[in-house]
Chain A
Amino acid sequence: MTDTTNTQAESAEQQNGSGDINSAAAIAANKTPATSGEVKIHCVDVDVFYGETQAIKKVSIDIEDKAVTAFIGPSGCGKSTFLRCLNRMNDTIDICRVTGQIVLDGGDIYDTDVDPVQLRARVGMVFQKPNPFPKSIYENVSYGPKIHGLASSKAELDSIVEQSLKRAALWDEVKDRLDSPGTGLSGGQQQRLCIARAVATAPEVLLMDEPCSALDPIATAQVEELIDELRQSYSVVIVTHSMQQAARVSQKTAFFHLGLMLEYDDTGKIFTAPSHEKTQQYITGRFG
């Protein structure tokens, strides 16, 4: 990754000539590692209603592949609600109604022939509070691949478990006690176990709803490091209350306010020169 960034910086410099004021823009653009630019989830005019109350109003957003997109906004702005639309978690709420289009790789996920369970294997989710199953570490990770029939043998399942735990940067800490209960791990380890569980079904998109708010700073840093690695293979969407976390881990940031998405741009732009006044007031700590 570093290599690519350097090459880009050099070529940008060659184009602009060093000392040129434009190179400042090139450097700023380079600060955020380049995203693929490919759209993974295409959302058009998404409305969400809880009974009569409209929680999301006409949100249109293109979520990129192999990038981390952060949703920020004050409590009750609809960011979690919108996140939960992306793998149809809102289906479980009776009074919740979603309209508009959410297209994952060309297919509308709200089409009647889409099986939400299969969809959630493709669009995994990690929640605020680590919620491992009251089972062994091994079973926590193997459960998904098993029910989705992703492994044909015990050896294959073992390998998925190992790979997933490695991806979640947890393997070294638990490899000698895979049979001990997942609930016996520390908070940070439990959260990484949940991430391992989410990546075990080989999802394409990973949704994270405040994945670090129950963790201490060190565990948070480990999860953030992990998010950055997961970005190489997945599209990651994270809802966070910590604006600094959004600034640290994401390449794109969307700002939600009262059910509207007011601004969506490169994270570097949002945190240095946001376009919308409300974004500015929120991220600088003037309301929320």
Chain B
Amino acid sequence: MEAPAGVRFGRDAEGMQEGGPRHIVTAFDLELRDITARISEMGGIAEEQLGNALEAVRLRDNALAREVIAADKRLDQLEMRLEEAAIQTLALRQPVAQDLRQVVSALKIASTLERIGDLAKNIAKRAQVLNEGQPLKVQGSILRMGRQTQAAFTEVLDAYTARDTELAQRVWRRDVEVDEMYNSLFRELITYMMEDPRVIGLCSQLLFVAKNLERIGDHATFIAEMTYFVVEGKPLGDERPKGNAFGELPDFD
């Protein structure tokens, strides 16, 4: 057996870690822990970005919107670094079973978090445009949908960190609520636009904000699916309840 420097044989009684006791090769444990820590860091930043973007809409705060846009680079960099670390681990340790699932899911979740960051940045950009016009009442519904999405995202990150499949499945099933909010917002915005063509510009911006939130909800369910996969070693399935696709395929009957 090739034993690189720093390898400690045997295991500590208290040294339990994900998937059972610690690895015989301590450096492997450290690498896996490092990958998990990077996901937590990315998750924290993405959460903050989403929160700030919604605040920028709510408070009509351009400075905050600019902050969100600038901070997105940080997420991109973190994703790249996580990818490097994960590829190194795959190449050098050839993980199997739960270790493999952990590394592969980290790769996929990292790119999901990066995309959530992009969507948050996009909301911030649209906030700047919205702030130029008069405030619309419908904004309240958007912010409610935002809070709902935020809650789901926060919960799914907790579920992933704690490897809590119950919580993950609850978030997964609840995405239908976000979908339904999106659909009713879609109707509401169309009504506004029909009533007063002068608000079409602003309402379109809000529609995109709602669409971004709906996408973030979908990404949260993906993280829930990955959480389940890491723990159970099988996919969560495709029976997720979905809202009707009103907003997806407009149906003006």
Contact = CB atoms under 8 A, between A and B. Distances in A.
A148 to B, nearest CB: 39
Contact of A280 (B11, B98, B237): B98
Classify the secondary structure of B's interface with A: loop
B43 to A, nearest CB: 25
Contacts of A21: 235, 237-238
A116 to B, nearest CB: 35
B30 to A, nearest CB: 13
Interface string B221-246: 00000000000111101100000000
B233 A272 contact: yes
Given A21-B235, A286-B11, A287-B11, A281 B20 contact: yes
Interface string A262-288: 000000001111100101110111111
Interface residues of B, number: 23
A247 interface: yes
Interface stretch (B21-29, B123-131, B202-210): B21-29
Contacts of B25: 285
B165 to A, nearest CB: 14
A280 B235 contact: no
A243 interface: yes
A4 interface: no
Chain A interface size, under 10 / 10 to 19 / 20 to 34 / 35 or more:
20 to 34
A214 interface: no
A75 to B, nearest CB: 11
Given A272-B101, A284-B97, A285-B28, 5 more contacts: A20-B238, A271-B97, A271-B100, A272-B100, A284-B96
Interface of A: 20-22, 24-25, 243-244, 247, 270-274, 277, 279-281, 283-288
24 contacts: A21-B235, A25-B235, A243-B96, A244-B94, A271-B96, A271-B97, A273-B97, A274-B233, A280-B19, A280-B97, A280-B98, A281-B19, A281-B20, A283-B97, A284-B23, A284-B95, A284-B97, A284-B98, A284-B99, A285-B23, A285-B24, A285-B25, A286-B19, A286-B21
